[in-house]
Structure 1
């Protein structure tokens, strides 16, 4: 066990999975992230933040938002090459991107991101809390204190920090969309701490919705199933299980990021104007009780 103390307010990256979150450019099979259909202006004139936007679901969501007219700020941990690909794709859609590098488990990083967005564009309309990490462990006793705190810090504490920083700038009509997971609903025997954070995110989503809906701010979530992103092949799943990743879904395959991004778009735009506190389930046909 490392010498990091868990009584500190911030835990830096552990040595559990040093490759995570991973470079999308390094994957042999690249995820499909490009939007599949023409835009229709559903986010025209809006400004959005997408965390974990350098790759995977975050990239697909950020580029789709740009196609729909939004200016998009991308928060990412350290993968500069992936983040630049996302920024270039946003520019190709005729929109503007802002890149912000840092660990969102540190509340100062989230505040700096919001300040940068307001300073550049003067508004914030959509907050997508998508960044996360996971570390597989076969036995609950294998989860170190550092890993436990780090997973909660990245997956749920960061959402509190960002919402706190964003709240003064969110006006009537704004939307928050959080990323929870199918593991919150059906469990995951080797992802105990990760699944617990996703349960917390779902509860946070529902409670925050009740807290903000009276001010005209909607809060919803998306619970993806197994999606082909860098998170899993770069350490989020045991290597021996990657050949069968997603094959246990009713559709018999993992999903692609551009099959999940439309769920975030729907909840971010006025198409879902009568929805708050809800969760969408792009999960390959897995039946869950929501």
Structure 2
């Protein structure tokens, strides 16, 4: 073995152990204003053609994990439709530019997935803009930290479930008639599904529901040649954390409890989504792939 031809990277130090300053952004938050900036793979992700010719709809694609997935998909050869909230237009335009720099098509689809009608419209617009879809990434999520059950309102509970669970049901249902055999659905769940934080009980419970939904849909759609899987990130540095996703005093310690001793960067999640979307994972169905820095999980 010629070790000089190989690259060995220590996962502990591959990315810095960030110590974010206490900061706040109004929901939903922007990558453009995050301190320190998150690594979405702009300068590091190298594609190998694993998604050549694919057409993907990605929700929550303007920042964080969704943006990293969009960049990776484009560099792997896929055209992408990017869904995001209108307030996130600045981030979405930056992702669009990176997709187009990779020589792929980017379709921008702003709108709120809490709106049932929009969940159907975003699929129709993606199909129109891309000429069809054969990959769906349900990544959009809402996370608001609330320390006490007394302060957790019915409105927040409803909104969290609308975005995190009902939107997956609605968007996937609208997409299935367009998905040919060989198509894929990948849902974003979380380590919170297994180890819920006391201040995230609404969010954590939605992620457990997504795990279950993924397994049920995987069984139902497998005979049609449509594979459904999920990715469960651990603590990942994204705008979600500073737009009330975490208590402000917890930010400087965010992610340091993982066995690697640091939070993940969005680009470290992207290969999991690429794998589950590529034909390499053709015998993987109903699986939740944990990408969490080593935290034990089922």
Equivalenced residue count is: 273
Gaps of 5+ in 1: 1-16
Gaps of 5+ in 2: 1-23
CA distance in 2, matches of 1:108, 1:269: 30
Q: How many Å apart are 1:251 and its aligned residue?
A: 0.7
> Once the two structures are superposed, what CA deviation does each residue of 1:7-57 show, in whole Å capped at 9, x if it has no partner?
xxxxxxxxxx98112011011211000263421111111100110000000
CA distance in 2, matches of 1:28, 1:220: 32
Q: How many Å apart are 1:87 and its aligned residue?
A: 0.4
1:119 to 117, 125, 128: 128
Q: How many Å apart are 1:212 and its aligned residue?
A: 0.2
**Alignment CA distance shift 1:24-1:37 (3 Å):** closer
> Once the two structures are superposed, what CA deviation does each residue of 1:140-188 show, in whole Å capped at 9, x if it has no partner?
2211000000000010110011011101101100000000000101121
1:223 alignment partner in structure 2: 232
CA distance in 2, matches of 1:38, 1:105: 34
- The CA RMSD over aligned residues, in Å, is 1.2
CA distance in 2, matches of 1:157, 1:241: 29
> Once the two structures are superposed, what CA deviation does each residue of 1:215-265 show, in whole Å capped at 9, x if it has no partner?
110000000000000000221001100000000111111000000011011
The answer to whether structure 1 residue 39 and structure 2 residue 38 are counterparts is: no
The answer to whether structure 1 residue 203 and structure 2 residue 201 are counterparts is: no
CA distance in 2, matches of 1:18, 1:164: 33
CA distance in 2, matches of 1:263, 1:141: 38
CA distance in 1, matches of 2:122, 2:222: 24
CA distance in 1, matches of 2:25, 2:215: 33
* Secondary structure in 1 matching 2:186: strand
The answer to whether structure 1 residue 59 and structure 2 residue 67 are counterparts is: yes
Aligned ranges 1:202-281 → 2 under 5 Å: 202-281=211-290
* Secondary structure in 1 matching 2:66: helix
Structure 2 contact 190–234 (Cα < 8 Å) conserved: yes
Structure 2 contact 45–267 (Cα < 8 Å) conserved: no
The range that moved more, 47-56 or 29-38, is 29-38
CA distance in 2, matches of 1:37, 1:112: 31
Q: How many Å apart are 1:137 and its aligned residue?
A: 1.3
The answer to whether structure 1 residue 25 and structure 2 residue 18 are counterparts is: no
